Amino acid sequence: MYILLVFIFMLGFFERFAPGAFASDLMVEFKITGATLGSITAVYFVTYTALQIPAGVLADRVGPKKIVSTGAIIAGLGSLIFSLSPTLALISFGRFLVGLGGATVFIGIMKFNTQWFNKKNYGMISGVTLLLGNLGAAISAGPLAVLLSYVTWRNTFLTTGVTAISLGILIYLFVENSPKDAGFNQNMNDSRTEGMKEKWYKELIQVFLNKDIWPIFIASIGTNATFYAFAGLWGIPLLTDSFDLSNKQASLNTTIGLTAYGFFSLVIGWWSDKAGTRKPFVIGSSLISALGWLGLIILPWQPGWSGILLYLMIGLAAAQMVVSFAVVKEVVPSWVAGMALALVNTGVFLAVSLIQPLFGLMIDLSWSGAWMDGARQYSFENYRSGLWLTFAISFAGLIASFFVTETYCGEKEVRDIQKKASSI
Ligand SMILES: NCCCC[C@H](N)C(=O)NCC(=O)O
C-alpha cells in the first residue's frame, strides 16, 4: 500500500517541476513570454496551496484511500489534457487539474502513515516519504532533460497521465485507510470512539486554536521556507552576480544544499525516533539555519568550500521539516492529524511564495542603479539586504523553536505519568 502511495507522490513531484525541463519548447510552440509561462506553471502552486486544508479535512473524514485515488485520477486527467492541448487555455486547465488532484496526495500519504506505521517510527517514515518525493523532483530535472532528446514533452505527459490514472485505480483497489478497515481487530493509533465525533469545522477550528501547533509552524517557516525560497530562486543569481560565475558553476552550491536537505531528511527522522525526543532536533536545526544565514551575511566567504559549507548548513537545517511534521501529528489527536499537517504545509508553501518576491524587493531597494545588457546589475551588497530578510525569518523560527512542545515521539502522556509518579 505504501509503495503505491509513494509512487503517486513521486509522480506528483515530477509533474510539479517537469515544465522547467521543457520551458523553452512551450515558449516556442505557444509563442509566449517567460512571464506567461510563469503564470501557467504558477496555476499549479496556487491550486495546490489553496487546497491543502480542504485536503486535510477530507483525509481525516474520508480517509486516504478515496481522496488519493480520486486525486491521482484527476491529476492524471490533467496531465492528459496538458499533453494533448492545442491551446494555452487548455494547458492552464490541465495544470489546474494536476494541482487539484496533487493536493490530496501528500496529506493523504502522511495521514496513511499515521494509521499504518508504529508511532515510534513516524519521524523516519516521514523522512523516507519526503526523500522519495524529492527524488521525483530530481528526476524531473536532469534525467527528463536527457529523455526529452528522444521523446516529446507531450508524450512524456501522456505517459505520466496514463500512469497516474492507473495508480489511482490500483490505490482504490488495494489501499485501506487503517488496519481496522483492512479487517484487523483494532486500529493501533486511533482511539476515538463514535461519541467523540465532532463536526469537521469544529475540529478544524480546534486545530487552529491549538497553541502547540504555532511554534512549530513558525520554526518550519524559519528553516524550510527560507531555504526553499532561496534554493528555488535567489541562490544561483546571488553567486553569478556577486562572483561572476557561470550558471553551471553557481548551481553546485544549491545542488549541494538540496542534496544535504534530502539526505538529512532521512537521517533526522530516524535519529529523532531513536533518541525518543523531538525538541533538541528542532532547536538544533533552527540554530544551524540562523547561523548559516548570518554567516552568508557577515563572513568573508567565497563560492568555494566556505560558500558550499554555508549553503550546506541552510540545506541541512531545512530537513527539520521531517521532525516538524512528526511534532504536529503528535500534538493533536490522531483523527485531526490530516488537518494539522495540512495547516503547517500550507504555511510553508505560502511563506515560500511571499519570501521570494520580498527578497527581490530587498535587493531592488538597495540597488545602485547600475545596468548591464539591459538588465539591472546587482552586487553582493544588494543580495546582503535580501539575506537579512531570510536571517530575520530564521531567527524568529529559532525563538519559536524554544516554545515547541516536547512530545517524546508520541510518548508525552507516558512521560508525564512517569514524572508524576516519581515525584510522589
Ligand atoms: N514550495 C515547496 C514547499 C515545501 C514544503 C514541504 N517541505 C514539503 O515538502 N511538502 C510536501 C508537499 O509536496 O506538499
Please tell me the residue having the least CA distance from ligand 1 atom 8. Answer: 345
Instruction: Give the residue with greater pLDDT, 33 vs 10.
Output: 10
Pick the atom of ligand 1 nearest to 321's CA: 7
Is 244 exposed, middle or buried, given 0-12, 13-18 or 19+ CB atoms closer than 10 A?
exposed
Residue 313 lies in a domain: yes
* Window from 22-31, 84-93, 341-350 with minimum mean pLDDT: 22-31
- Tell me whether residue 192 is in a domain: no
Closest CA to 213 of 24, 350, 345: 345
Residue whose entry in the numeric block shows the C-alpha cell 529523532: 272
187 within a domain of the structure (yes/no): no
Residue ending a domain, among 179, 195, 223, is 179
Greatest Cα-to-Cα distance within the chain, rounded to the nearest angstrom: 76
Half-sphere exposure of 418 (CA within 13 A, CB side): 6
Q: Is residue 275 domain-shared with residue 140, that is, in the same domain?
A: no
ipTM of the assembly? 0.93
318 close to ligand 1 (CB < 6 Angstrom)? no
Q: How far apart are CA 346 and CA 167, in angstroms?
A: 25
Residue 279 counted as domain residue: yes
Q: How confident is the model at residue 141 (pLDDT cuts 50, 70, 90)?
A: low
- Same domain for 59 and 11: yes
The residue-averaged pLDDT of 106-123 equals 93
Q: Quick one: which of 424, 402, 405, 404 has its CA closest to 413? A: 405
Residues 171 and 284 in one domain: no
Helix (H) or strand (E) holding 28: helix 23-30
In this prediction, residues 388-403 reach a mean pLDDT of 98
In angstroms, what is the span from residue 183 Cα to ligand 1's centroid?
33
Number of DSSP helices (H) and strands (E) in the chain, helices first = 20, 2
Q: Check whether residue 175 and residue 213 sit in a common domain.
A: no
Cell 552550491 belongs to residue? 253
CA of 193 to the centre of ligand 1 (A): 32
Residue 253's pLDDT is 86
Q: Which ligand 1 atom is at minimum distance from the Cα of 12?
A: 13
Query: Do 298 and 360 lie in a common domain?
Result: yes
93 and 138 fall within a common domain: yes
- Looking at the structure, do residues 97 and 223 belong to the same domain, yes or no? no
Instruction: Look up the pTM and report it.
Output: 0.89
Which residues, 6 or more positions from 245, have their beta carbon under 8 angstroms from its beta carbon? 239, 303
Alpha carbon distance, N-terminus to C-terminus of the chain: 47
Q: What angle do CA 156, 159, 160 make, to 5 degrees?
A: 85
Over residues 148-176, mean pLDDT = 92
Does residue 290 register a pLDDT over 90?
yes
Residues 202, 210: Cα–Cα separation, whole Å: 12
Please give the torsion angle defined by the CA atoms of residues 229, 289, 221 and 321, in that order, rounded to the nearest 10 degrees.
100
For the segment 211-217, the average pLDDT, to the nearest whole number, is: 97
Res. 336: pLDDT tops 80: yes
> Predicted confidence band at 245 (pLDDT cuts at 50, 70, 90)?
confident
106 and 221 share one domain: no
Q: How is residue 113 written as a grid cell?
A: 502513515
Cell matching residue 267:
537521517
| CATH number of the CATH domain containing 19 | 1.20.1250.20
Nearest CA to ligand 1 atom 11: 106
Residue 341 CB–ligand 1 contact under 6 Å: no
pLDDT digits (tens, 9 = 90+) for 358-390: 999 999 998 888 887 777 888 999 999 999 999
Residue 352 in contact with ligand 1 by CB distance below 6 A: yes
pLDDT at residue 91 in the model: 92
Residue 408 lies in a domain: yes
Q: Report how far residue 329's alpha carbon sits from residue 333's, in angstroms, rounded to the nearest whole number.
A: 8
pLDDT bracket for residue 231 (50, 70, 90): confident
Please say which residue of 179, 201, 223 terminates a domain: 179
Mean pLDDT across the stretch 17-32? 81
Considering only CA atoms, which of 255, 16, 42 is closest in space to residue 144? 16
**Residue 149 included in any domain:** yes
Same domain, 157 and 245: no
Q: What long-range pairs does 89-92 form, CB within 8 A, spacing at least 24?
A: 91/26, 91/30, 91/40, 92/40, 92/43
Which tens digits make up the pLDDT trace of 200-209? 899 999 999 9
Does residue 27 have a pLDDT over 80? yes
Instruction: Give nearest CA residue, ligand 1 atom 4.
Output: 349
For residue 73, is it within any domain? yes
Q: Is the CB of 130 under 6 A from ligand 1?
A: yes
* Residue 21 confidence (pLDDT) above 80: no
Residue 112: which H helix or E strand, with range? helix 88-116
Q: Is 379 within the bounds of a domain?
A: yes
The amino acid at residue 398 is L
**Number of domains composing the chain:** 2
Q: Per mean pLDDT, which range of 94-98, 182-186, 358-362 is the poorest?
A: 182-186
Q: What is the DSSP letter of 300?
A: -
- For the chain, the average pLDDT equals 90
Band of residue 187 on the pLDDT scale cut at 50, 70, 90: low
Nearest CA owner, ligand 1 atom 13: 106
311 vs 34, more confident: 311
Average pLDDT over residues 276-297: 97
Picking from 208, 232, 214, 244, the residue whose alpha carbon sits closest to that of residue 390 is: 232
Closest to 320 in 3D by CA, of 354, 358, 277, 289: 289
Kind plus residue range of the DSSP H or E element containing 375: strand 375-376
Mean of pLDDT values over 296-321:
95
Band (32; pLDDT cuts 50, 70, 90): confident
Indicate if the pLDDT at residue 417 is higher than 80. no
* 216 and 163 housed in the same domain: no
pLDDT given at position 377: 83
Same domain, yes or no, for 71 and 122? yes
Q: 10 with 158, same domain?
A: yes
- The predicted structure's pLDDT at residue 310: 96
What pLDDT is recorded for position 236?
87
Query: Domain range for residue 220?
Result: 209-367+375-413
